Chain A
Amino acid sequence: MVESMPRISEWGLSLSGQYPDPKVWPSYSPNFKSDAVRFVRLWLTEGIPFAFQKFPIIFEVGREELAERLDISPKAVNLIGSARIGYSFAPQKFGVEFEAGKSDFDFFIASESLFNRLREDAELWISRYRAGLAIPTKAHELKYWPENADTLAKNIRYGFVSSWMLPLYARYEHSILLSAALTTFRANLNERLPSEYRVKKDIGVRIYKNVDTAISKIAHDLTSAWRMRPEA
């Protein structure tokens, strides 16, 4: 009975409250992968996001509208990163506090149907680009398309696509719909939020094929970022 009990790290036991103190992170042990997964599952995908502590219903209504536009469940829409927990998990600014009106809002969506729709768009674009049928003309296309084609292909194998890598042309209708839905999502949030809390930058979103893939990938990224944090 005792032998089959799950192991919990000292770091795991030190986590408390809805937004655990960033000071707990020096004691994090990357060997305890299951604790990273638990952290992502409970703290990063459940509860009220840090950025919306004062207006949780605005977040809820916003994701409800976004979900309706994308024909998915509102539960599939999740906010992560500093807007979720109160400090950043990006390698170069690990532990840096969330700043209302300045920090990014990183979302992820866990939906197999949306993932499949966007995967089809991405695969069509990769095939056309590699066949010389989709030709980059704008400066940002010339700069990013070669890398995006490789990265999208790799990410599809891992079970996700990133919205900002998808080409916005009429041929890729699901990507266009997603982009329009995200623009409206941001506009609606900003309309309802006080000016100092508004979302300043475009919203980027990763779309995972399911919630388990999302949790496992985010936990992996979290551990990688922890290893690369400036004080490591």
Chain B
Amino acid sequence: MLVSHASRILAMLPPVRRDIELVSQKMNSFLSGPAFHSEVSSCIFEAIIIAEDRRFRNHQGVDGFAVIRAAVQYILNGRVSGASTIEQQLVRTWRRRYELSIRRKISEIAIACTLSARYSKNEIVSAYAHCAYFGWHASGIGAVSKRLNIDIQSASPSDAATIAAMLKLPMPRFPTSKYSERLAIRKNYILLHMSRYGGKYAKDF
């Protein structure tokens, strides 16, 4: 709630406002384009949500629990862990800003909250899936499905988990056996959580 109010105030700052317009333009252009209307198996979106942002459907662009967990981990162990929501990752990808700075992070949260208020969760996760980086020659769900020869309309939970695992482990042009092992671990982790939290997908396991 507090973050939401703060982000509304931040959104009034000119540089943040400019970036909100940029991200909104990209979102509107995506929603009116063919990619949004192409048929994608919903289990791919579910796998992405489970892999990247499990509380995606319950927050407004910022995951307070994840932020607190990341802060505690940093204070106790000095370890930087992820707390970015799908909205924040979408903003980062579209703004092409990846520098490690508090300023970038705060503006990202403000834009993510605005995005979350303006668009539906389905629109946001679809936009993210279509522009996220999955590896070499695999930017967006269309490219990754072409690279792996997966039919995204009828992808199985296993295919979906493989694709979602590539968000954390982008596939290089020539993946090694070590990469393969790491991807399999990540994929199994996603599959396990899909069976636990995936609702209708649980029956497929």
Contact = CB atoms under 8 A, between A and B. Distances in A.
A153 B180 CA distance: 14
B171 interface: yes
Interface of B is mostly: helix
A132 B162 CA distance: 8
Interface string B131-170: 0000000000000000111100000000100100010000
B149 A130 contact: no
A129 B179 CA distance: 11
B174 A126 contact: yes
Given A127-B148, A128-B148, A133 B174 contact: no
A32 B174 CA distance: 34
B179 A130 contact: yes
A139 interface: no
Interface in A117-136: 123-124, 126-133
Contacts of B179: 130
A124 B149 contact: yes
A161 to B, nearest CB: 13
B126 to A, nearest CB: 22
B184 interface: yes
B174 A131 contact: no
Given A149-B177, A150-B176, A150-B177, A130 B171 contact: yes
A132 B188 CA distance: 11
Interface residues of B, number: 18
A128 B175 contact: no
B173 interface: yes
A128 B183 CA distance: 12
B121 interface: no
A133 B159 contact: yes
Interface of A: 123-124, 126-133, 146, 149-150, 153, 156-157, 171
**Closest 6 A-B residue pairs measured CB to CB?**
A153-B174, A130-B175, A130-B180, A131-B162, A132-B184, A127-B147
22 contacts: A123-B173, A124-B147, A124-B148, A126-B175, A127-B175, A128-B148, A130-B171, A130-B175, A130-B176, A130-B177, A130-B179, A131-B148, A131-B171, A132-B162, A132-B184, A132-B187, A133-B150, A146-B177, A149-B177, A150-B177, A157-B174, A171-B149
Given A127-B171, A128-B148, A146-B177, 7 more contacts: A124-B147, A128-B149, A130-B177, A131-B166, A132-B187, A133-B150, A133-B159
